[in-house]
Structure 1
């Protein structure tokens, strides 16, 4: 996640997209595993945090839709 933000600051959109994808994939896998281990829990303990997770999804969508200059 942090690498994606740094890549964005440096203007490296392709790297930012790649890093946001990785952060989302890691978080999705973690959440799936958490649900398997603790099926009775409604609230998921997150490695990334829900706010950053949702931000990563939003930024990935925005950056992916952005036309290349």
Structure 2
């Protein structure tokens, strides 16, 4: 979905950020799937949960990147 977002030759930092954002989006997608697992796409809580989580994709990506920092 975000392929080539930074162009054909992204920097290493851009590649890392892209991976973190993609991971965050996958978590949001998984969260929305669990919320609506009954098969009812209008299940109570699905839209509010998705809206709450999607507002902070950047924060979630930041947390993912921070968690990947190797501490010695």
Provide TM-score, normalisation by structure 1.
0.43
Return the structure number with greater relative CO, CA threshold 8 A, min gap 6: 2
Rg larger in structure: 2
Provide TM-score, normalisation by structure 2.
0.41
Higher helix share: 1
